[in-house]
Each structure stands twice: as C-alpha cells, then as structure tokens.
Amino acid sequence: MLVLEEVHKTYHMGETEVHALRGVDLTIEDESFVVVMGPSGSGKSTLMHLVGCLDTPTKGHVIYDGADLGALSSRQRANYRADQVGFVFQKFNLVGTLTALENVELPLLLQDAPAGVARDKAAHALESVGLKSRMKHRPSKLSGGEQQRVAIARALVNEPRWILADEPTGNLDTTTGEYILGLLEGFVGEDRSVMLVTHNPEIAKIADVLVEICDGQIESLTKKSVKQVVTS
Ligand SMILES: Nc1ncnc2c1ncn2[C@@H]1O[C@H](COP(=O)(O)OP(=O)(O)OP(=O)(O)O)[C@@H](O)[C@H]1O
Ligand SMILES: [Mg+2]
C-alpha cells in the first residue's frame, strides 16, 4: 500500500519559492491502475517523482509498505528505485547508441547482473511487448510506438512493483497510444501497480483510481467501487 500524508514539495528558484505540492493526502491499495490528471504545472510529475523516490518531500511523508521513503538512506533509495519501480517517459529516454536489447539490459547490468542473465531477461521483456524481431535495432530505426515499447520493456525488466509512466502516450498517435496503454494495463495485478500521468480524459475512464490535481492539491479523487453482489 502507498500512503501520502500531508505531502508538500517546494522548489526554490533563487528568491522565489514554487509550491508544486501543497498538502497531498492519498492512499493507494496494491494492484491499482492509478491515473493522475491536471493542468500543466499542477504538480503531476512532482508527485510521480516522489512516489518513485527520485525526490523527497519538503514536508509530510510518502510511505510504501510501511516504509517512509523520505527516511531512507541514499543507498536504500537507490535500491528502492532499482527494485520497486520502473519509469516510462513521454520522450522514451532511450540510449541512442545502444540497440533495443542493450537498452533493456542496462538496468540489470547497472545492478551487476551476470551478462547472460541480463540478456535473457531483456530478450524476454522485449518479447512480452511484441518486439522480438526488433532487438538488434537502434532507437533511430524504430517507430515512436516501438521506442515506447522498448522503454516499457526496460521498465519491466527488473520486475518492479510500480510502473510510473509520465505521459507515455503523449508523443504517439491514437492507435499506438491505445496499444501502449493496453500493455500498461496488463501489467497491473499480482502485486503490481501502475501510476500514469495523462491529459487524455479517455484514459481516465479505465482507471481504478483517478487523481485530479490542481495547483498542487488533490481536487478530486475517484475510486472505482468494487461491485458487490447482494444475496437475500
Ligand atoms: N526542479 C524544479 N525546480 C523548480 N521548479 C520546479 C521544478 N520542477 C517543477 N517545478 C515547478 O513546480 C510546478 C509543478 O511542476 P510539475 O512538473 O510537477 O507539473 P506537471 O503537472 O507535471 O506539469 P506538465 O503537465 O506541464 O508536465 C510547476 O510550477 C513547475 O514550474
Ligand atoms: Mg509533468
């Protein structure tokens, strides 16, 4: 379970302070498909960075499975990022000089996985996103949708519990975007969750939890209710 308690994030830009998050309270059960929406500058990416342990709150707590992420040492934070989360970004962020396979292997090799193990896992992850035949291609030789699938394979390869996706379909056409979305949706379950930032209201419809942020605060929180069968 993920719990945010009175989370504030303030950035200091010289003399000015930017209050990116202003008292966010949120509880997310495991195995959730969480969609975060809100205007530009409302704090969506900031929220995602805190959940992914890329940053720490200025005030308040981000607690994952009972552990306060803000209290972890830098080594523990790095381990959390490596073991528990996979990131997917709008601009794919692949290494241009590496093949698809090498890009996906990278997180494993950075964790000192044996080369053979890294290769097998990376190949398997690429296969799971339908890119078996593109493993030797460099990003420039892949379409946008294929590049995003490589990025998803890279996020999956560590078998994380969270996929954090910041506008993953923002640069893709509708059909390709729907395919990518289907892949992310399929990831949810068996102790795995997705948090996805989007501007697309259609995507909000498939969320288990819809978080709408405005001006650094949660404006509305919608949780899909579990259907209950009442027997008399
Ligand atoms: N590293 C930073 N330093 C200073 N200010 C920042 C930093 N990152 C974000 N901000 C500011 O914090 C606020 C929230 O930014 P954030 O990136 O979370 O918004 P967002 O909802 O993701 O917007 P977008 O939809 O444009 O991606 C903005 O006013 C932004 O300018
Ligand atoms: Mg953003």
pLDDT band of 224, cuts 50, 70, 90: confident
User: Considering the entire predicted model, what is its pTM?
Assistant: 0.92
Does any domain span residue 91?
yes
pLDDT for position 31: 96
Q: Is residue 229 part of a domain?
A: no
Place of tokens 């579990």: 226
Helix (H) or strand (E) holding 173: none
Mean per-residue pLDDT over the chain, rounded: 93
**90-99 average pLDDT score:** 94
Ligand 1 atom 16: residue of nearest CA: 43
Rounded to whole angstroms, the Cα distance separating 65 from 59 reads 19
Q: Whose CA is nearest to atom 26 of ligand 1?
A: 40
Please compute the mean of the pLDDT values over residues 105-132 and round it to a whole number: 94
- Residue-wise over 29-66: b if at least 16 C-beta within 10 A, else e? eeebbbbbbbeeebbbbbbbbbbbbebebbebebbbee
pLDDT tens profile 153-173: 999 999 999 999 999 998 888
The reported pLDDT for the residue numbered 231 is 55
User: Domain residues for 15?
Assistant: 2-223
Q: What proportion of the chain, given as a percentage, has pLDDT over 90?
A: 84
pLDDT at 227: 47
Q: Model confidence over 9-55: pLDDT tens digits? A: 999 989 999 999 999 999 999 999 999 999 999 999 999 999 999 99
Ligand 1, atom 25: closest residue by C-alpha: 40
Average of per-residue pLDDT across 50-74: 95
Say if 60 falls within a structural domain.
yes
pLDDT value, residue 230: 58
Number of domains in the chain: 1
182-215 confidence digits (pLDDT tens): 999 999 999 999 999 999 888 888 899 999 999 9
In a domain, 230, yes or no: no
Ligand 2 center to 38 CA (angstroms): 9
Residues framing ligand 1 (Cβ under 6 A): 11, 13, 18, 20, 38, 40-46
The share of the chain scoring above pLDDT 70, in percent, equals 97
In a domain, 228, yes or no: no
Say which CATH number the domain at 157 has: 3.40.50.300
Q: If you count them, how many residues does the chain have? A: 232
Residue 215 inside a domain? The answer is yes
Look at residue 61 and tell me if it is in a domain.
Answer: yes
Q: Is 225 exposed, middle or buried (0-12, 13-18, 19+ CB in 10 A)?
A: exposed
Q: Which ligand is nearest to the CA of 44?
A: 1
Distance CA 101, CA 137 (A): 8
